[in-house]
């Protein structure tokens, strides 16, 4: 897993990662309040043709010709709304039924740090039913992609950074580990120090309201996935009277600190690995991995980790597959059940000394493109997480917690436990322990939890409903696998979400969709 703490991202995106979920923040710290609006209304957006995503956004082809892009200027510091501004990059796919158009549906696919400019076009096929009556809109949040991006190390330095040992065992290794974090932080401060105090989630929520106004919508219709649910919750707290129809999918638990969330993820990814292993056993000889029980399959993964810690194997482009990179790749594949066949193949090949597939999965998780360039998801993620969470851990405090993490997950515990130090020494103080998402007076928000979600454990959906407050959160359970529910293609989930967003029909609280439902 990456040394930097990557909060959860939308399943299906290739820039996903495993790590502690921190709280949220505003520029300069403090708790969010409903005072201090977003300033005077911005001018209407000037939409034009879209270019191909740049390296910071993750690269890729240009969107289809009927898509449009625009730039919105927002205050760098909302405490000084008339001061310096930064650009927000936006993209939209216009609604197909102009006569029945409902307005805009704004997406945040998670991260934090994921580029909506590059993600929405690639995921748009999953949301075609919603495009019938909505303009599908997404954006690069502040600090991400083309929106005043946070930049830290060079591409070559990042190759070294991600290859480093993330689970030190000796004093010398511990020093190398902490020195690596320090170098990374210094690079971030040197290249992006001006924006680091202002990339927290409260500021991003205020940006959402500026986007709503610039789109000409009286209410914000919103689809938040993973970290996007936390951003949506903070928005609902700040602007409850501006919430339109909103869906939270793959829900971040707003009651947990960064440490508690990291431990929850250790358990979540362990559960996903066990489900993967049991599926392998159930398929018998059709599975390439040896083991008569799920535990024996998991033992294969543990042996591979230990072997790679002693002797890395060839990966891609002259880079070696280390145990850290292999664990990254395994985590990437557990985000979606559709990637389980690649995980099976990758583990099998790595046992035979070939690490290319697991390395490719690890690269996808870290935002590394085939040409060796990195998107800025890692840098943005670290910046948002560290601006958001007050928690900072010393080396000794981290080591004291490792046993509990190892108990939660023999495979992922060490990696997530050591990742607690990702914000140690960060130049900006964190804003809070947990975000306030209470939203009295808001319209109903559909909150979807997936029982097999590795990155945002199922319990978080119930706690989000409780914290939103009476009459706001409406819980729907998906009994499935992977990160998220709507993007699984499950017809029960999609029918419930579409009925709410398109027709305003709120499902009954406690509705359950099973993965096999039709």
Separation CA 420–CA 395 (nearest Å): 9
> In whole angstroms, what separates CA 392 from the centre of its chain?
21
Question: Is there a contact between 59 and 230 (Cβ–Cβ < 8 Å)?
Answer: no
Cβ-proximal residues to 128 (8 Å cutoff; 6+ apart), any chain:
none
Q: Which two tokens stand for residue 187?
A: 């690079």
Question: Is there a contact between 381 and 17 (Cβ–Cβ < 8 Å)?
Answer: yes
- Which listed residue (147, 192, 483, 488) is catalytic? 483
Asked about 453 being catalytic, the answer comes back as: yes
Q: Which two tokens stand for residue 270?
A: 């362990």
Query: At 505, is the secondary structure helix, strand, or coil?
Result: coil
- Which listed residue (226, 324, 336, 422) is catalytic? 226
Q: Please report, to the nearest 10 degrees, the dihedral formed by the alpha carbons of residues 189, 191, 193, 196 taken in order.
A: -90
Is 510 buried (19+), middle (13-18) or exposed (0-12) by CB count in 10 A? exposed
Residue in 366, 462, 484 with CA at minimum distance from that of residue 126: 484
Asked about 226 being catalytic, the answer comes back as: yes
Q: Which two tokens stand for residue 225?
A: 């996935």
Residue in 299, 331, 297 with CA at minimum distance from that of residue 412: 331
Q: What is the DSSP letter of 253?
A: -
Which residue intervals of 164-200 are DSSP H helices? 171-192
Separation CA 35–CA 134 (nearest Å): 30
> Which helix (H) or strand (E) segment is 6 a member of?
none
- Which listed residue (140, 217, 453, 490) is catalytic? 453
Active site residues: 226, 453, 483
């Amino acid at each position: 897993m990456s040394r930097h703490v990557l909060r959860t991202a939308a399943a299906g995106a290739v820039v996903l990662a495993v790590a502690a979920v921190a709280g949220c923040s505003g520029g300069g710290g403090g708790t969010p309040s409903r005072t201090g609006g977003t300033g005077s209304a911005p001018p209407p957006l000037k939409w034009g043709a879209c270019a191909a995503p740049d390296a910071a956004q993750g690269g890729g082809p240009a969107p289809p010709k009927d898509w449009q892009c625009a730039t919105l200027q927002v205050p760098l510091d909302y405490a000084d709304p008339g001061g310096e501004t930064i650009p927000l990059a936006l993209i939209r796919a216009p609604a197909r039924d102009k006569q029945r158009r409902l307005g805009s549906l704004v997406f945040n696919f998670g991260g934090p740090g994921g580029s909506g400019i590059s993600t929405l076009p690639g995921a748009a096929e999953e949301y075609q039913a919603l495009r019938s009556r909505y303009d599908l809109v997404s954006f690069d949040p502040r600090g991400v992609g083309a929106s005043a991006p946070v930049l830290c190390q060079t591409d070559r330095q990042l190759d070294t950074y991600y290859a480093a040992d993330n689970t030190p065992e000796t004093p010398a290794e511990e020093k190398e580990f902490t020195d690596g974090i320090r170098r990374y932080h210094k690079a971030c401060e040197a290249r992006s120090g001006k924006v680091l105090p202002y990339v927290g989630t409260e500021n991003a929520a205020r940006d959402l309201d500026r986007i709503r106004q610039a789109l000409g919508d009286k209410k914000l219709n919103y689809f938040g996935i993973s970290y996007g649910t936390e951003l949506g919750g903070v928005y609902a707290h700040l602007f409850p009277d501006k919430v339109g129809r909103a869906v939270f999918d793959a829900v971040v638990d707003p009651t947990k600190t960064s440490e508690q969330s990291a431990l929850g993820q250790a358990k979540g990814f362990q559960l996903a690995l066990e489900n993967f292993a049991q599926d392998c056993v159930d398929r018998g000889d059709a599975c390439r991995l040896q083991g008569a029980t799920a535990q024996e399959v998991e033992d294969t993964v543990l042996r591979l980790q230990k072997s790679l810690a002693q002797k890395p194997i060839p990966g891609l482009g002259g880079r070696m597959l280390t145990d850290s990179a292999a664990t990254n790749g395994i985590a990437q594949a557990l985000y979606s059940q559709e990637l389980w066949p690649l995980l099976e193949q990758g583990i099998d090949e790595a046992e035979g000394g070939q690490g290319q597939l697991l390395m490719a999965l690890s690269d996808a998780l870290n935002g590394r493109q085939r040409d060796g360039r990195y998107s800025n998801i890692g840098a943005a993620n670290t910046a948002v997480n560290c601006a958001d969470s007050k928690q900072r851990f010393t080396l000794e405090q981290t080591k004291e917690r490792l046993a509990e993490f190892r108990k939660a997950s023999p495979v992922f515990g060490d990696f997530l436990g050591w990742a607690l130090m990702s914000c140690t020494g960060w130049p900006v103080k964190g804003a809070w322990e947990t975000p306030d998402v209470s939203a009295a007076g808001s319209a109903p928000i559909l909150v979807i939890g997936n029982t097999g979600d590795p990155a945002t454990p199922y319990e978080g959906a119930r706690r989000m409903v409780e914290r939103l407050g009476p009459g706001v959160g409406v819980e729907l359970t998906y009994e499935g696998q992977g990160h998220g529910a709507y993007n699984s293609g499950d017809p029960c989930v999609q029918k419930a979400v579409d009925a709410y967003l398109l027709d305003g029909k709120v499902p009954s609280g406690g509705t359950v969709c099973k993965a096999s439902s039709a």
